[in-house]
Amino acid sequence: MQRLPISNDSLHLLPDPTVETLRRDQDGLEAQRTLAEECPVALVYNGTTAAVVMATPADLQDLALGFSLTEGTIENVADLKSLDIIPGPSGIELRMWLAGTSEQRFKRRQRRLVGPTGCGLCGIESLADAARPASHLTRSIIIRARQVESALLALSDAQTLNRATRATHAAGFFHPDQELVAIREDVGRHNALDKLAGALAANNVSATEGAIVLTSRVSIELVQKAAAISCPMLVAMSAPTALAVRAAQACGITLIAVARGSAFEVFSHPDAISG
């Protein structure tokens, strides 16, 4: 595992990812309900806030690392010198210090955005940035049709936070030989994928060797984030947008969506699916 220097002094002050609350049903009966927490999380590089996302306050080191990778701020773990997780009354700051060329890259691409749970592209600086092209990926994996169902079942079984709250998305990494390797959950689908990307990088797992499995629909930014970590396959429970399909086709990603049980639809590069 690649260790990112991290300050642990204030981690005990972080909010819990779930909150217990009283609610009444339609008959007026009170009972406990477990809710997913969400709070503002600022991603700060060398003292400059680059983004604020609404996120579940868990796996924040993975979020910091994964967001930095999928947004192109860094190329690998070594590009981050340190991370401080700083909780405060208004939210949480992920204070990162960049190394070498990453600092210069950040200054060139600096942007400010606010990303609520339903949006991943708010605040970008130009229309061209919204549909930024990704490098074409070289795919070396084949997945069997029955493994799509296995991946979805494994992801569902591993969603402990969603099982408690019924309010979170999940992103998992499925290896054709090792099955479900990692999973991360969050109230935001983009955050879940960023957390997964960070977890894979921290554990030296190459995203080129498997498929990302999502509980959400597939929009353009999810394809872009998958391409940024060189993952050649996306499997999603819900449908993609037309732009996401065009992006997946252009960069070489096999996009499988509307996947429920043994049924699924392939929208790009179907040669990666065997019988």
Catalytic residues: 119
DSSP of 96-108: EEE-THHHHHHHH
Distance of alpha carbon 143 from the chain centroid: 22
**Coil/strand/helix, residue 74:** coil
In 3D space, the residue among 96, 65, 78, 88 whose CA is nearest the CA of residue 228 turns out to be 65
Virtual torsion, Cα 16, 17, 20, 26, nearest 10 deg: 160
What is the spatial distance between Cα 274 and Cα 36, in angstroms, rounded to a whole number? 38
DSSP 187: S
**Coil/strand/helix, residue 87:** strand
In 3D space, the residue among 173, 158, 270, 207 whose CA is nearest the CA of residue 257 turns out to be 270
Give 195's contacts (C-beta < 8 A, 6+ positions apart).
59, 62, 63, 66, 171, 184, 185, 186
Q: Tell me the two tokens of residue 35.
A: 């809710």
